Structure 1
Amino acid sequence: MTAITIRNVPEEVRAELAARAERSGRSLQEYLLGELSHLATRLDPADWLAAVAREAREGGAVLRVDTILDDRDADRR
């Protein structure tokens, strides 16, 4: 596995992240790895817009309201 170093993190940011890690019962390293993994699985907004534009050009996309709301809520979990 590769190591990542982040320099010049403000103390208040580090403290908040450490508090979140503690509340979740994980070490700071475990917590940050989980957050980075989650971030890496999210679709980039620019890629999403490009996919929507491509689908619209190729005949249009039919999106149901429940699908839109489910996708929106997935990012809030």
Structure 2
Amino acid sequence: MTAFTIREVPDDIARRIKVRAAEAGQSLQGYLLSLVTRDATQPTLAEMADRAERYATEDIDIQDVLDAIDAGRTGR
């Protein structure tokens, strides 16, 4: 596993992070790891745009849209 070091964190930011970790019932290390993990696992805006572009360029015709609407209505 890799270890990270963050230098020159302003005192007020460090205090806020420590308070948030305590409120979450986590150690500072655990809290920061959860923040880094969440950030690293979320798609970036560029990845989301690429995904949207792929979906937008799929061959979908009017009948596909109407079938999807009908399927949604019957599921209610």
Instruction: Tell me the TM-score normalized by structure 2.
Output: 0.71
* Cα shift readout 1:7-62 (whole Å, capped 9, x = no counterpart): 121111111000000111111111001111111111111110111012212325x7
Q: 1:25 matched to which residue of 2? A: 25
Structure-2 separation of matches of 1:54 and 1:4: 36
Unaligned runs of 5+ in 2: 66-76
Kindly report which structure 2 residues correspond to 1:60-75, keeping only aligned pairs within 5 A, or say none: none
Q: 2:70 matched to which residue of 1? A: none
Unaligned runs of 5+ in 1: 63-77
Q: 1:58 matched to which residue of 2? A: 58
User: How many residue pairs get matched?
Assistant: 62
Q: 1:4 matched to which residue of 2? A: 4
Structure-1 separation of matches of 2:59 and 2:20: 45
Backbone CA RMSD of aligned residues: 1.9
What amino acid does structure 1 have at the position aligned with 2:32? Answer: L
Structure-1 separation of matches of 2:54 and 2:34: 32
What amino acid does structure 1 have at the position aligned with 2:21? Answer: A
Structure-1 separation of matches of 2:34 and 2:56: 34
Aligned: 1:46 with 2:46: yes
Instruction: Tell me the TM-score normalized by structure 1.
Output: 0.70
